[in-house]
Structure 1
Amino acid sequence: MTVQVLPAGVATGIGSLPGTDVVEAVRLVMGELPDFPHLPELPARGPGADLIGRGASLLVDIPVQLYAGRWQVASRGGMDLRRGRDLLERDLDALTDVAGDHDGPLKVSAAGPWTLAASLDRQVGGALLRDPGAVFDLTQSLAEGLAAHLGELAARLPHARLVVQLDEPWLPAVLAGEVATESGFSRYRAVESETVRDRLAAIVSAVSVPVVVHCCAAEVPVTLIRDAGANAVAVDMSLIDLDSAAHLDPLGEALEAGFGLFAGIVATGPGGDSLPSGQASIDPVNRLWNRLGLPADRRREQVVTTPACGLAGRTPAEARAVMRACVEAAKWLTD
């Protein structure tokens, strides 16, 4: 079994929260998820605070800009890039002020190379995904920028144990050749799994901290993520088909080997629908464990409870309630 380097038996968030006050958001996370907090993302602040703009702000020597509502590579950095980097700097300032003495695990997120490649356009010719050489350069740039970002975080929070979450919602579509071109009438060619794995592995190797890959899609390539060197996968448990061997076999093999599971168990969609209790929320994990025939004590050793996805679509009160349900669920899993 692999050595478990991630916390387990606790709750954490996935990333986004509602609102625009980053200091208040950090205080909320530190108060509700003290055992495994994360640096929150606030996309309501606008361009540069979104997943792609925030990830592109980390790139080294690949400037970006907004054009017709989409992020694209630019000839030089301008106002859009400066805004994204300024927002990220404000986030680090808030985290330093509120959590500078934190001495446990702390998770920070960034868009992964394949989601950036599928979402960043060239100035002419569609997404970077079209050009393998451009994807290679993007990966190297992201690896360098993310490593520098973590170095700054380590200097600001010297007692924290950093964990990186790579957000890869486009990963299954990249592998299946289902990413639409700019016209919407065709699809980019599927990328070979070995190439996808190698680009992910380059990021994992560069950051030198534990890595969890988050993919809120139905067909999460668990084996590929594990082979890339990641330590855990974060999934929406409602999308795991317990009757599908294609879903269960790779996940079961990974869990048997000690791979970590960030189990998204509390729904995060907008609206005032009632939230399940923490005890009810762990049912998908229990059913998965029973279906795989894994020892019960593995849950407390390998599972982190999370919302199903980000919480930007919830109200602040609902976001707090989701966090508390995740914490309660973690306690039930460890009993």
Structure 2
Amino acid sequence: MTFATAAGSHPGEDQHAFDTALGHVLDVLGDAPGLPYLPEVPGRGAGAAMTGRTLAWQTGLDADLQPAGWRLTGTSGAPGRDQRRARSLLLQDLDSLEERAQGYAGDLKLQLAGPWTLAATTERPRGDKLVADHAARRDLAQSLAEAAGELVAEARRRVPGVVRVVVQVDEPALTAVRDARIPTASGFGRHRSVDVPELSEGLGWVLGAVADAGGEPWVHACAPGTPWSLVHGAGARALVVDPAVLDATALEQVAEAYDAGAGLVLGVADPLAAEAPRDRDLADRARRWLDTLGLGPGDGFGVGTACGLAGTPVAAVPRHLSALRDAARRLDD
């Protein structure tokens, strides 16, 4: 059965916006063929955005917010004020999910920043991006792996009826890390590239921890040139892609992974489009991309958004989600 979901982020700037987003997700995607998820509302501040939200869940590394962004401060178990606030906000969101999802029996998706995106957006204690330090990169990936496993357990505790816990690992910076395109603190240079074996190992720790905890690890990336064969080889059970940025090499890698049994979510809905999509158009778009890949709908295939909904007007969000749900039904007709 084809399913429908979305990347994870929603518009808004306060707790009411999160509650609204959670309501939209559960109301529209709470029944088959929907895959509901814990929304992210980055407009609430740095602690609610991708990097801060992921650091909030890590208990092995302390961090605090600096003018240049998030910076690690040590491993003493004494997180900074901003990290504590970020964790409090995340726990509050989980409380809301637990309350609203009482009696729910189905699958659930949560999102975390991947180890390489986190390394590219977080500073070392002495400054500059953590991606510049081999030992720090390793510590970060291992700490994130532990946190990812704990997140699966937390989801099952909060929503006892959940059947499958999906952890979507967001890696928009993976290609930039590989290609030495992460700028240094001065802005005049670029950090050295990280070798492919290390990229695969670090990502594999996180994906493996999700699987070991009984979850299903997915990887989402919407950057051109994403090495999908590396992602699949590291243990991703499904690839969440924006088909509009797939070149010939990426198309071949995605098709090979899908043929080998990996799931596939095609981001056929553009959240920034001037008008909300029609389900017929989304279904047609998915079929065209499947034809390009030489594939057809099957188990593990889904349709979603090309990126997050954070830039979408609040009133249009339910229409996007409903169009995706109905497109999934059309694809199975």
TM-score range, shorter chain: over 0.9
Counterpart in the other structure of 2:331: 333
Once residues 313 and 64 of structure 1 are traced to their aligned partners in structure 2, the CA distance between those partners, rounded to angstroms, is 28
SS in structure 2 opposite 1:220? coil
State how far apart, in whole Å, the 1-side matches of 2:285 and 2:312 are.
22
Taking the aligned partners of 1:86 and 1:69, their CA distance within structure 2 comes to 22
Pick from 8, 18, 29 the counterpart of residue 11 of structure 2: 18
Structure 1 residue 166: Cα displacement: 0.3
Please say which of residues 148-157 and 44-53 is displaced more in the overlay: 148-157
Q: Secondary structure at the match of 1:276?
A: coil
C-alpha change, 1:195 and 1:105, in structure 2 (3 Å) is same
- Residue 144 of structure 2 corresponds to 142
Matching of residue 94 in structure 1 with residue 96 in structure 2: yes
Give the Cα separation in 2 of the matches to 1:197 and 1:143.
13
Equivalent residue for 1:254? Answer: 257
Matched letter for residue 276 of structure 1: P
Q: Match for 1:41: what amino acid?
A: E
CA distance in 2, matches of 1:191, 1:78: 29
| Structure 1 contact 237–264 (Cα < 8 Å) conserved | yes
**1:210: Cα distance to partner?**
0.7
Q: Which amino acid aligns with 1:189?
A: R
Aligned-pair identity (%): 37
Structure 1 gaps of 5+ residues are 1-7
Separation in 1, partners of 2:183, 2:282: 35
- From 228, 237, 248, the counterpart of 2:234: 228
| 1:53-101 deviation digits (Å, cap 9, x = unpaired) | 0011122221111111411112442210111000000011000000032
Name the CA distance, whole Å, in 1 between partners of 2:39 and 2:294. Answer: 35
> Is residue 218 from structure 1 mapped to residue 217 from structure 2 by the alignment?
no
Residue pair 2:267, 2:305 contacting (<8 A) in 1 also? yes
For 1:300 and 1:27, locate their aligned partners in 2 and report how far apart those are by CA, in whole Å.
Answer: 29
- d(CA) in 2 for partners of 1:155, 1:26: 18
For 1:290, the aligned partner's letter is D
Equivalent of 2:310, from 298, 309, 312? 312
1:45 maps to amino acid: R
**How large is the RMSD of aligned CA atoms in angstroms?**
1.5
Say whether residues 1:44 and 2:43 are aligned partners.
yes
Letter in 1 for 2:25: V
CA distance in 2, matches of 1:105, 1:231: 15
Distance 1:69 1:179, change over 3 A: closer
Paired residues of 1:23 and 1:98 also in contact (CA < 8 A): no
Corresponding residue of 2:2: 9
How is 1:1-335 mapped onto 2 (pairs within 5 angstroms)? Answer: 8-19=1-12, 20=14, 21=16, 22-34=18-30, 35-75=34-74, 76-160=78-162, 161-208=164-211, 209-241=215-247, 244=248, 246-269=249-272, 273-294=274-295, 296=296, 299-335=297-333
CA contact 1:60–1:144 (8 Å) conserved in 2: no
Equivalent residue number for residue 4 of structure 1: none
Shift of 1:50: 0.7
Q: Which amino acid aligns with 1:230?
A: A
Distance 2:37 2:8 in 1: 7
The residue matched to 2:310 in structure 1 has which SS? coil
- Unaligned ranges ≥5, structure 2: none
Q: Which moved more, 1:48-57 or 1:205-214?
A: 205-214
TM-score, normalised to structure 1, is: 0.92
Could you say what secondary structure the match of 1:37 adopts?
coil
How much has 1:300 moved relative to structure 2? Answer: 3.3
Task: Identify which range, 160-169 or 16-25, moves more after superposition.
Answer: 16-25
Deviations 1:270-303 (A, max 9, x none): x7x1133122123343223223333x3xx13232
Distance 1:165-1:323 versus aligned 2 partners, 3 A rule: same
1:176 maps to amino acid: D
Contact 2:243 2:289 survives alignment (8 Å): no
> 1:239/1:282 Cα in 2 relative to 1: closer, same or farther (>3 Å)?
farther
Count of equivalent residues:
320
CA contact (8 A) 1:300 1:333 kept: no
1:14 & 1:27 partners in 2: Cα distance? 16
